[in-house]
Structure 1
Amino acid sequence: MKTRILRALLSAFVPLAASVAASAALAGEVQVAVAANFTAPVQAIAADFEKDTGNKVVASFGATGQFYAQIKNGAPFEVFLAADDSTPAKLDAEGATVPGSRFTYATGALALWSAKDGYVDDKGDVLKKNDFRHIAIANPKAAPYGLAGMQTLDKLGLMEQVKPKIVEGQNISQTQQFVATGNAELGFVALSQIYKNGKITSGSAWIVPGNLHEPIKQDAVILSRGKDNPVAKQFIEYLKGPKAAEVIKSYGYQL
């Protein structure tokens, strides 16, 4: 009797195991280079994507300009989520992408942020007072949010007085860390780094008006290495969908 029961259990288990193995074999992945400002949103979107499709996003985070150099030097990325629209357009023109795959997935916002509550006022007048020792800004040659920060200082006529106090981060993540650790009293960061579901998550901030810098349009594109990977196209289409849109908006981006 026990032997018959065991055989029945085994006969039920073997097809199930085969089915699970087949599903695992069919699952794919895509290598994605992601601008540092989009770290939190893409982590949430990637988790949803894996849950909904069974396929995996393997993301690397950094500065857009640095990724451009890596892509040109043969880095194995298949999709690029940049922090601007000019870098993907440049890769398009150089024949390094899948034609027609580029689109704007988000428009970012810049924020002047301090880890200290009440330090940054809601009009950014703290910049004019100039009583801070250091202000953190991402490398404007590699990070579009760093460029937007410099454009803001120029537009406000504050560059000359603030320039000696600038500490430069390699990317927007390092810039935020300078402020979070107190190495700089304040700094220009991506709003998405300090914002969730309609509010600033810590410290104090001024959301910089869009007329003080060029629009931060962030484009995504399938790179040439991803042209034969169906998961690359699937992820790009998922990024355009309503589920991803809700995540993107929750971090303060516009679509």
Structure 2
Amino acid sequence: MTQQNIFVEGVQFMKRLLPASSILFLTACSSDTSSEDPVIHVAAASGLYHAFSEIGEQFEAETGTEVVFSFGSTGQFTQHIREGASYDLFAAAQESYIDQLNEEDLIDESTRRLYAYGRIGFMYEGDIPDGMTPDYLLSDEVEQIAIANPSHAPYGMAARQALETWGIWEEVEDKLVFGDNIRQTVQYVESGNADTAISALALSYETNLSFDLIDETLHEPLAQSLAVPTAGEHPEEAAQLIEFIFSEAGRTIMESYGFTPPDED
């Protein structure tokens, strides 16, 4: 597969897709190649990095259609679409963002589908006898806690909700380090710039970090939806990719990275 996504600080910049007036911190992706087959551009929540990269490879192998991904913050991608970015498919980490775009007539409502539920947990180096707990977060052993920015990242909002449910948000607020998206929180721990991160289960499969799952009742469900933006240039190919995501092969890949499939036929 010839995906051309170079990761820069956890976000990607798609020069072809953006209005000239926008200044966006995303990974550079080249424009469509001279191939007769179309190239479809997908904006995807960063927690989908491993799962969608694998799905994209299989989809291209079966169809010949190249998929170029931009992985980043759901809230930031939502704003980019409002500004005219012509993504062919948008896979959000929280369905409320798809709802917002639908209300603004910026997606094809008929393509809107719930594709997965996500989970969060603690990532950290080494072993902790009792695992990462609220009390341990309050201890001097933890100086910095990385979470995705709750203002535009659904996984970051879920992390905040969990900390608030535990009643320790204000106590740990000074320890928090905000990533632009959920994948950047993992990088903070891997680089030693944070002692732990509240990150995505889906990102724990390609790292040597320890991972402790957080009870999903501590935060609102991470109901993840996708849709085809009305500004996209290849709606038919995007629809084919959606069908592949919901196929047996696509679902198997999603489940292998810890995503819970929706209850639909």
TM-score in terms of structure 1 length: 0.84
Query: Which letter does structure 2 place at the counterpart of 1:195?
Result: Y
How many residues align? The count is: 228
Pair 1:90 & 2:100 matched: yes
Shift of 1:227: 6.9
**2:180 aligns with one of 154, 170, 176:** 170
Find the residue that maps to 1:58 and give its secondary structure: strand
Structure 1: state its 5+ residue gaps. Answer: 1-23
Shift of 1:203: 2.3
Aligned to 1:139: 149
Larger displacement relative to structure 2 (217-226 or 116-125) = 116-125
**1:238 aligns with one of 237, 244, 248:** 244
**1:202 aligns with one of 183, 198, 208:** 208
Find the residue that maps to 1:101 and give its secondary structure: strand
Instruction: Give yes or no for contact 1:134–1:186 (8 Å, CA) kept in 2.
Output: yes
> Runs (4+) of structure 1 moved beyond 4 Å?
122-125
Aligned to 1:251: 257
Aligned to 1:43: 53
Instruction: Give yes or no for contact 1:84–1:219 (8 Å, CA) kept in 2.
Output: yes
Aligned to 1:217: 223
Instruction: Give yes or no for contact 2:85–2:231 (8 Å, CA) kept in 1.
Output: no
Larger displacement relative to structure 2 (117-126 or 53-62) = 117-126
Structure 2: state its 5+ residue gaps. Answer: 1-33
**2:80 aligns with one of 70, 80, 104:** 70
**2:158 aligns with one of 148, 162, 166:** 148
Distance 2:186 2:52 in 1: 18
Larger displacement relative to structure 2 (110-119 or 174-183) = 110-119
Query: Which letter does structure 1 place at the counterpart of 2:45?
Result: A
Find the residue that maps to 1:178 and give its secondary structure: helix
Shift of 1:128: 4.5
Change in 2 beyond 3 A, CA 1:120/1:42: farther
Shift of 1:27: 2.0
Matches within 5 A, 1:186-197: 186-195=196-205
Instruction: Give yes or no for contact 1:120–1:206 (8 Å, CA) kept in 2.
Output: no
TM-score in terms of structure 2 length: 0.81
Distance 2:203 2:50 in 1: 8
Distance 1:152 1:30 in 2: 36
Alignment RMSD: 1.8
Shift of 1:147: 0.4
Greater helix content: 1
Identity of aligned residues (%): 35
Find the residue that maps to 2:198 and give its secondary structure: strand
